[in-house]
Amino acid sequence: MSLKYPDSLPLDSIKEIVRIIQAGNTVPEKAALAKHLWVVQGYAQKMLVGDPDSVLVGMQNPTLVPQAMPDNLPDLVSMLEKLALAESGAEFTAQEFQVPPAWLLQLVIEKLVELLLAYLKNKN
């Protein structure tokens, strides 16, 4: 089975993550939330470290440039909302609001781990 990273920013998944979290439906919609977090994580991961399949067809992987994490990293929903607005052309352009992939990846993984740990605690 071959898995592919998203080719572009997965706006549908971003909007679903925001909707589920803002509605307080992380428990009843845990499967959907986990799936959408996984899709966004894949996109951020591809942007951060590249895609090994691209190398096979002669495409370049991005060069890693260390980006310092701010002490006050915005919350996931806030960052995703701004990212979705930027991509849709509302309020500001994507060039004015660029989310470093490392930040997005950290926030998505933290939320996914939080979701999975809560699920495991409730299973026992």
Sequence spans of domains, the chain: 11-123
Contact assessment for residue 43 and residue 10, using Cβ atoms and an 8 Å cutoff: yes
The fraction of the chain above a pLDDT of 70, given in percent, is 69
For residue 39, pLDDT beyond 60: yes
Is 53 or 55 the better-scoring residue by pLDDT? Answer: 53
Token pair for residue 16? 């679903």
pLDDT tens profile 65-97: 445 555 665 677 777 777 777 666 554 433 444
Q: Residue 67 half-sphere exposure, CB side, CA atoms within 13 Å?
A: 16
The pTM for the full model equals 0.70
